[in-house]
Structures are given as structure tokens and as C-alpha cells.
Amino acid sequence: MEVHFRNLASKPLERWLPTLAAAFYDQGLRQLIRVGSEPRLRALDQALWTFDPGSFLPHGAVGDGAEDSQPILLTMGDGNPNAAAVVLAVDDCSARPDEGFQRLEYLFDRNDTAGRDAARSRWREWRERGIEPIYWEADAQGWRRAG
């Protein structure tokens, strides 16, 4: 599994996550968006509908029905109900190697002390598993690989 850490650099998650999800969707990759709370799930659901008025990003949330057929599925739970290749994890959520994902995208804001500390802990966790994470930062033009 590839593991990527994405520092939002104080840009709103609702701005960056849909852009990232759209890029993976354009590559034909199914995605699971794993969040830590119902309010976050609803906020990201809305962001996926409205981030670009000129496009449509098909998605659903666990509980809406037909979870296994959603190209992008939002959830607060474990597992991989839509057989996603990519998991986008926020709110200190993560993934396990046995869930079948090819790639983990861990999104956090380094300016949020708790989020930064959680990301550091997750980074060490993946390194201890023998996987060297890749670090990205958001800037005005998009994502740039750092370090």
C-alpha cells in the first residue's frame, strides 16, 4: 500500500478533498472517504456536490443504499464496502493493510496542534510497518511533494 500524507496548510478541507477526489475519479479509481463524525460526513457530502458547478462527482454515504456500487463512498466505519482502491482519511482516521486499499491519503492541517500530533503518530505507525509515507503540502497552485 502507498501512504501519502497531505498537509492542508490551513486551507479548508472542503476545498481540497473534493479536488483530490475528482483527480482520483478521473483516473477511474474508486474511493472511500473515511471521517470521524456525522457532521464532517455531511459537510464533505455537501462539498462534493458543490465544489465545481460545472462538473458532477458521483458519490454516496453509508446508509444511503447501494454502497457497493458507489465510485466514491463516505463513511465513519471500517472496511471497504465499495471495493475502493483509495481511502481518503480525515479526523485522524486511517486504514489497515488488510482492507484491500492500494493507497491511503491521510489529510491533516499542521497548524492544528492535535491534528499535527496525530499525523506524526500515524506517520511513525506506517514507518514501523515498513512503509515510507510520502509528504505533500497544499499551496495556491495545488499539491506539491515536499521533503
Query: In this predicted structure, what is the pLDDT of residue 85?
Result: 98
pLDDT band, residue 144 (cuts 50/70/90): confident
Rounded Cα distance between 40 and 125, Å, is 24
Query: In this predicted structure, what is the pLDDT of residue 96?
Result: 93
Q: Is the pLDDT of residue 110 over 90?
A: no
Model pTM above 0.85: yes
Query: In this predicted structure, what is the pLDDT of residue 10?
Result: 66
Q: In 3D, which of 92, 132, 128 has the Cα closest to residue 113?
A: 92
Which range has the worst mean pLDDT, 16-30, 43-57, 82-96?
A: 43-57
Which homologous superfamily is 2-141 in?
DNA polymerase III subunit chi (3.40.50.10110)
